[in-house]
Amino acid sequence: MKRIIVLLSAAFFLTACITENSSPIEGNMPTRRTAIAEVDAATDATDNEPMPVAVLHKVADINRGIYEPTDGIYLGAWLAPHDNLRDFSNDVGRSHAVFVHEMDLDGEIPINWVLQCIASLAIPLLVVHPPAAQDYDIPIGSYITYLAQRVGAFNLPMFVAFYPPGHGMGAPEYAVLFRQARALFLQHAPQAAFVWVAPSVESTHRNPFFPGHDAVDWVAVSLFAGRNAYGFSVDVIEAFEPFYRTFENLHPIMVLPLGISHFSRYDHAYHIAEAAAEILRVYNALMGFPQVGLVVYGDIFGIAQTAGNDFSITLEDGLMQAYSKAIASTHFLSIPETDTQPAQGWARSEFMGYYYDGRIYVDVRTLAERDISIPRITVEINEGTFVNAELLTGVRFCETRRVVTFS
């Protein structure tokens, strides 16, 4: 279990926020843009308006999950079965650490695809659905055992996302079957990391479909920015934050998959530049969530209803260019790690900071989280109380990631 950050009491927080020398900084929180003229318009940073930034601080000796990266986010891609994995990586200018294949429990693992993963030094991720043509005279455990034996025969690190949403089972039946599958894979394929895919972004570990911490290595959630008559139907980062808070101290988290729509049946129009800008924004924002260990972009997938949206990127040069730019940071990892020893890591503060006029401002509530004395001189930004980071020690700012770190 990862170390849980303990917040100070509300009484202390209220006392700490009372200061005599507060000066205001005017400016509204930037909102997600819905009309972008140029694909390269990827930054909201200006000297005229405060820009929100994530605030991270060190956590010692985190018990890392199986194949969880020490620092950074694995790049993953969910492509059409016939796509060449290495060609895709070459097209976007980065190797990928994980590739996804979707299959039924009674289906066959494609050997050629596994070999491509091996050649690319990538971990295969199998998304396993119920049998397409189940023989009910054969126990379901026999199907699971057979798949586990085939996975184990490869003797490779793998991820297995077992029975994602859409299986049609009730919660008690699903939880029992998931735990049975986990036990059989531990016996026959111990190198496979088991992934629970949440039914929705609102899910918590108290969800009746959650099979238990001992049966789950990673948790996953799908993030889809579909389109409606007004633009994007959801801000996926805003929707993701509560889910992240629920699981950040419990399991490594993967986005499986991420999809940004550039076409919808609502208006039967293509919005390439807008989708490109959103891809850049979302990947940039995900770098501020330190317990996210894998982001899989879904070019072709069947894990959820797409509601008339097109999330693919490989058929549009503008989207491929945007994706290539979005994953260029070294924070995104091309090579998986197999060492899972405890290591120092980062925790995300519940409270955002701001970058404004060349300075960094940290919320006083973040200082309360870390039991840091609050300087007398504070400023007000968007009705919150903040401290100029120049008055603090050990604070650094990465403009590329838009992240403030306390060492």
Alpha-carbon distance 153 to 155, whole Å?
Answer: 5
Q: Is residue 3 part of a domain?
A: no
* pLDDT tens-digit series, residues 65-120: 899 998 899 999 999 988 999 999 999 999 999 999 999 999 999 999 999 999 99
Q: Which residues lie closer than 8 Å to 55 by C-beta, 6 or more apart?
A: 348, 349, 351, 352, 353, 362, 363, 366, 403, 404, 405, 406
Q: What is the DSSP string of 143-199?
A: HHHHHHHHHHHH-S-EEEEES-TTS---HHHHHHHHHHHHHHHHHH-TTEEEEEEPS
Q: CB–CB of 197/222 below 8 Å?
A: yes
One domain for residues 157 and 212? yes
Q: Say what the pLDDT of residue 61 is.
A: 64
For residue 224, pLDDT over 90 is answered with yes
Query: What percent of the chain shows pLDDT beyond 70?
Result: 84
167: amino acid identity, one letter: H
Q: Is residue 1 part of a domain?
A: no
For the chain, the first-to-last Cα distance in angstroms comes to 23
Alpha-carbon distance 254 to 26, whole Å?
Answer: 37
Alpha-carbon distance 313 to 161, whole Å?
Answer: 23
Q: Find the range with the poorest average confidence among 35-39, 47-51, 278-282.
A: 35-39
Q: CB–CB of 228/266 below 8 Å?
A: yes
For residue 381, pLDDT over 70 is answered with yes
Q: Find the range with the poorest average confidence among 23-37, 49-63, 238-252, 279-293.
A: 23-37
Closest among 51, 73, 3 to 404, alpha carbons compared: 51
CATH of residue 86: 3.20.20.80
Q: Say what the pLDDT of residue 286 is.
A: 97
One domain for residues 324 and 398? no
Pick the more confident residue, 7 or 149.
Answer: 149
Q: Say what the pLDDT of residue 340 is.
A: 62
Q: Say what the pLDDT of residue 341 is.
A: 60
Q: What six digits make up the tokens of 354?
A: 């701001």
Q: Say what the pLDDT of residue 344 is.
A: 61
Distance of CA 95 to the CA centre of its chain: 18
One domain for residues 156 and 85? yes
One domain for residues 245 and 327? yes
One domain for residues 234 and 318? yes
Domains of the chain: total: 2
Q: Is residue 213 part of a domain?
A: yes
- What's the mean pLDDT in 246-273? 92
Alpha-carbon distance 8 to 370, whole Å?
Answer: 9
One domain for residues 152 and 272? yes
Beta bridge partners of 386: 363, 379
Q: Say what the pLDDT of residue 124 is.
A: 98
Secondary structure of 23-45 in HEC code, one letter for each residue: EEECCCCCCCCCCCCCCCCCCCC
For residue 355, pLDDT over 60 is answered with yes
Q: Say what the pLDDT of residue 342 is.
A: 53
- Half-sphere exposure of residue 356: CA atoms within 13 angstroms, side-chain side: 23
| Mean pLDDT taken over the chain | 84
One domain for residues 98 and 218? yes
Pick the more confident residue, 203 or 8.
Answer: 203
Pick the more confident residue, 4 or 300.
Answer: 300
One domain for residues 127 and 207? yes
Question: DSSP E strands: which ranges in 90-146?
Answer: 98-104, 123-129
Domain boundary among 341, 366, 388: 341
Q: Say what the pLDDT of residue 245 is.
A: 92
DSSP label at 113? H
Give Dmax over CA atoms of the chain in angstroms: 76
Domain boundary among 341, 358, 379: 341
One domain for residues 156 and 226? yes
Q: CB–CB of 55/348 below 8 Å?
A: yes
For residue 237, pLDDT over 60 is answered with yes
One domain for residues 216 and 94? yes
One domain for residues 380 and 333? no
42: containing domain: 10-61+345-406
* pLDDT tens-digit series, residues 310-348: 999 999 999 999 999 999 999 999 999 876 665 566 778
Closest among 159, 164, 199 to 178, alpha carbons compared: 164
One domain for residues 167 and 79? yes
Q: Say what the pLDDT of residue 312 is.
A: 93
Alpha-carbon distance 78 to 302, whole Å?
Answer: 10
- What's the mean pLDDT in 209-231? 93
Q: Name the one residue in this structure whose structure tokens are 């991420």.
A: 258
> In whole angstroms, how far apart are CA 234 and each of 34, 203, 204, 259, 268?
11, 17, 19, 12, 19
> In whole angstroms, how far apart are CA 297 and each of 307, 311, 313?
18, 9, 9
Q: Say what the pLDDT of residue 58 is.
A: 72
For residue 12, pLDDT over 50 is answered with no
